Amino acid sequence: MKQINLNRVKRLRNQHRLSQGDMAEIIGLSSLYPYHRKESGAQSFTAEEIHAIATHFGKNVEYFFEEDVAENAI
């Protein structure tokens, strides 16, 4: 199963010197708090939000996903 790599989102935001408030605006949120919850993993990003982030930074949506493999998988 694929999941969003939150570290990639945060790293990209920091590299571009954007605040969480800036990112909230990029994905269409009215305040910083819901974005903070998403970046910390307490709430999930929607497909539309990841698409907005990818578009803003010129990345493919796939850049933000990683394969979630069970620890006991061979």
Q: What's the rounded Cα separation, in Å, for the pair 71 and 31?
A: 37
Residue 73 has what pLDDT? Answer: 53
Domains of the chain: 2-62 (1.10.260.40)
> pLDDT band at 67, cuts 50/70/90?
confident
pTM attached to this predicted model: 0.85
Category of 66 on φ-ψ map: left (φ > 0), alpha (ψ -120 to 50) or beta: beta
Residue 35 has what pLDDT? Answer: 97
43 close to 29: Cβ distance less than 8 angstroms = no
10 close to 17: Cβ distance less than 8 angstroms = no
